[in-house]
Amino acid sequence: MDRARAIFVDGIGAASATTGVLNQLQGRIFALLYLEPQALTLEDIARELEQSKSNVSVNIRALLEWHLVRRVAVGGSRKDHYVAATDFWRVMQEIMERRFRWNFRQVLTTVEETVRAIEERERSGKGEASFLRSRLEILRAFFALLDAGIGAFNSGKALEAETLRNVVRLPSTRRN
């Protein structure tokens, strides 16, 4: 691998390792395929990255699931060949929906369940919970905003200021 490709492959691998979506090798495989004008086999990828074929195979499957890599047929060969995705809009939609939006909705569900538990506690006369309610409302508003942002991103729409006002009660910006 030439120096320019090595810099790119290692850099994307390092960046991928910090995303929580891909590991370093997956990032390196994607980067290698992205800079290749032709599809590569598992053997080609393993050789270029100095990895075992089985390790590359496991990581290719994850990249296929994330739609970062796709399998293509090459005439005259019975082997699987792979190319990198180039539709980054679609890739980011997939990552945002599958990775982050699920997490945000988990937080929102947890907040809702906690509010119900507070309401039950209040009905049984076990004390005031206004502090807890205010903290949970702030958390709910923040994650609802993130969820709305991902929804807008995935549908190709702008996240308008009015949408933000409908999701989150923003504090007054006037100074006294």
In angstroms, how far is CA 172 from the centroid of its own chain? 33
- pLDDT tens digit at each of 176 positions of the chain: 789 899 999 999 999 998 878 899 999 999 999 999 999 999 999 999 999 999 999 999 999 998 899 999 998 989 999 999 998 888 888 888 877 888 888 989 998 999 888 888 777 666 667 777 788 888 888 888 888 888 887 787 776 666 666 655 544 444 44
CATH code of domain 3-86: 1.10.10.10
Q: Which of 4, 8, 51 is nearest to 27 (CA)?
A: 8
| Termini Cα distance of the chain | 63
Write down the pTM of the prediction: 0.70
> Up-side HSE of residue 51: CA atoms within 13 Å toward CB?
20
For tokens 């994607």, the residue is 30
